[in-house]
Chain A
C-alpha cells in the first residue's frame, strides 16, 4: 500500500470508509453474474465512462463469464468549461460502431445523472439494439436527470465519495475502497 495506508484504514482526508474493499469485491462478483445472465444470448459491448469507471470496469469484466467486448467514452467535464455558453462534448469517442449492438454503459457513479443522461442520449442516437446502464455507486438522492439503472452496486448517501476509481481533483482513484472525503478538503461548510 502507499500513503493511503492499509486497505480499510482511513487514508489522508477520508473521514469514513463507506464501503470496504471486501464488500466491493463481493458485490462485483454478484453483479458479474447478473450481467452474464442478462446477456447470455448475445455479445455485449461494455462501454466504460472514463475515468471513474476504470477500476470498477476492470474488476467487473473479470467476473462476467461470457464473451464480451469493451470500449470507452469520455466527456468533457463541466470543470473544464471555459465560456459561459460552453457545452459538453465527447473528448474520446467509441472505436466501435454500436448500431444493432447490445450496449451496457458502465459508470463508477451516477450522481445528478447529467453526464450519464448526456451520454445515453448520444449513444441512443446511434441506434443500438439495447442500451442499459451499470453503475458501481448510485447517489439517487441527488438525481436531477432520471437514469434507468439496470445493474447497481451500492446506493450511497449524499456525501462526497472517492476511491475505487472515483476522484477528487484526480486524486484518490487508487484507493481500494470507497471513502467519504472530509468537507474541509472539498471546501464545504455544512453548518
Chain B
C-alpha cells in the first residue's frame, strides 16, 4: 500500500499536518495513539514502552537484546501495517524504515531554529530559554532514534522527496503541496500488488556475506562460519496468504537456510512472550509447506548456545553478540 512519512523538526506543526493530510487523502494516520495500540499488541505497556524509548534516547551503548528486539518489532509492525493499509506516519523514524520502499513519499518539515523555538514557546507557554532547551533535546532524541535503528542522519537530504520550510508556508499551503506531491507521485493509484511484490524478493538473493538484521543474526552467522557450515541468508520468501485476485498479502522470509541440512532457521531475540506473531507465521508456513524443515531459534536457545561456550554470566566475558547492534538495517518479513 502507499505510505507518506512526515519527519518534523521540533517546533514544526508535523502532528497537525499529518492528521489533516491523512484525512484529505483518505490514508490511515500512524501517530502516538496508533503506536500505543501496536505496542499493546505485543504486550508492551506504556511504562515499558517508555523504558524502551528512554534506553535508546539516552544513547545507552549497552542496550539489552530484549529492548532492542522490542524496538525492532515495533518497526516491523508498522511495516506490516503498511502492507495492509495506506498510511501517513508522523516521525518514529519512518523515513528510515521505508527508506527505499516504492510507493512512498518522504516529507520533511523544517524551519529556522529561532522560528521553531518561538512556536514551542507560544504553544507550551514556556520561557524562551526553556523552549530552546526543549527543542534541542527533541532534536537530539529524534537523531538518536534514527541513528540507532538505521544508522541514518535525519538531516540527510537524500532521505526526503519533499522538504517544506514551515516559516514560509501556512499549514494550508503545506497541506496542498503535500497532497499535490501524493497525487503527482501517483500514490493514490499504486496497485496493492505492486508494492507488496516490490517488497518481496522474487529472485532468491544470496547475502550470506552481507549485513544482518541484528546482532543475534550476526552472531549466529559467525557460529556457522566458525564450524564451516554453508548457509544462505534470507534466501527464500514463502507466500503465506493471497487475496481473491491471487495477490500476495502475507509472506515470510526465514533468516537462514542451511543447504546441507535442508533446514531453515528463524532467529528471534525476543522473550518467549513476545514472539506470538512470529510463531503464528511459522505455524502457517509449516501448514502450507509441510515439506519445509524450519526451526525457530528463540532467545532462550541463543542464550543456551552462548552459555555453552561460557559467554554468559560474567561481565568480563560478555560477548559482542549481546551488545548494541552494530549493523542495522530495516527488515520487513
Partner-B contacts on A (CB < 8 A): 77-79, 81, 84-88, 111-112, 114-115, 117-118, 121, 142, 144-146, 158, 160, 168-169, 185-191
CA gap between A158 and B311 in the complex, in Å: 18
Which range contains the number of B residues in contact with the other chain? Answer: 20 to 34
- Please name 15 further chain A to chain B contacts, defined as beta carbons within 8 Å, in addition to the given A145-B227, A187-B314, sorted by A numbering: A78-B223, A86-B226, A87-B227, A87-B228, A114-B223, A114-B226, A117-B227, A118-B227, A121-B228, A144-B229, A144-B295, A168-B310, A169-B310, A186-B312, A187-B312
Contact pick for B229, options A117, A142, A160, A191, CB 8 Å: A117
With A142-B301, A188-B307 as contacts: A88 and B271 at CB distance below 8 Å: no
CA gap between A112 and B226 in the complex, in Å: 13
**Residues 262-314 of B at the A interface (beta carbon under 8 Å):** 263, 265, 271, 295, 300-301, 303-305, 307-314
Assess whether B300 is in contact with A88, with CB atoms less than 8 Å apart: no
Question: B223 to chain A: which residues have CB within 8 Å?
Answer: 78, 114
Question: A160 to chain B: which residues have CB within 8 Å?
Answer: 304, 307-308
With A142-B301, A186-B307, A187-B307 as contacts: A78 and B226 at CB distance below 8 Å: yes
CA gap between A142 and B222 in the complex, in Å: 18
Question: A81 to chain B: which residues have CB within 8 Å?
Answer: 222, 226
* CB proximity of A67 to chain B, nearest CB, Å: 34
* CB proximity of A72 to chain B, nearest CB, Å: 20
Question: A118 to chain B: which residues have CB within 8 Å?
Answer: 227-228
Q: List 25 A-B contacts (CB under 8 A).
A: A78-B309, A79-B310, A79-B311, A81-B226, A86-B222, A87-B225, A87-B226, A87-B227, A88-B228, A114-B223, A114-B226, A114-B229, A117-B227, A117-B229, A118-B227, A121-B228, A142-B301, A160-B307, A168-B310, A186-B312, A187-B307, A187-B314, A188-B300, A188-B304, A188-B312
Assess whether A145 is in contact with B225, with CB atoms less than 8 Å apart: no
CA gap between A169 and B271 in the complex, in Å: 26
Question: B202 to chain A: which residues have CB within 8 Å?
Answer: none
* CB proximity of B311 to chain A, nearest CB, Å: 6
Tell whether B245 is near chain A: CB-to-CB under 8 Å. no
Tell whether B258 is near chain A: CB-to-CB under 8 Å. yes
With A142-B304, A158-B304 as contacts: A187 and B225 at CB distance below 8 Å: no
CA gap between A79 and B310 in the complex, in Å: 7
* CB proximity of A107 to chain B, nearest CB, Å: 14
Question: A145 to chain B: which residues have CB within 8 Å?
Answer: 227, 229, 258, 260-261
* CB proximity of B310 to chain A, nearest CB, Å: 4
> 7 tightest A-B contacts by CB?
A187-B313, A187-B312, A79-B309, A186-B307, A114-B227, A169-B310, A118-B227
Interface string of B218-244 (1 = CB under 8 A from A): 000011011111000000000000000
Assess whether B310 is in contact with A144, with CB atoms less than 8 Å apart: no
- Closest-by-CB residue of A relative to B318 is A187
Assess whether B261 is in contact with A146, with CB atoms less than 8 Å apart: yes
Assess whether B226 is in contact with A186, with CB atoms less than 8 Å apart: no
With A88-B227, A118-B228, A186-B313 as contacts: A111 and B308 at CB distance below 8 Å: yes
Question: B305 to chain A: which residues have CB within 8 Å?
Answer: 112
CA gap between A186 and B307 in the complex, in Å: 6
CA gap between A68 and B216 in the complex, in Å: 44
CA gap between A115 and B308 in the complex, in Å: 12
**Residues 119-136 of B at the A interface (beta carbon under 8 Å):** none
Question: A117 to chain B: which residues have CB within 8 Å?
Answer: 227, 229
Question: A121 to chain B: which residues have CB within 8 Å?
Answer: 228
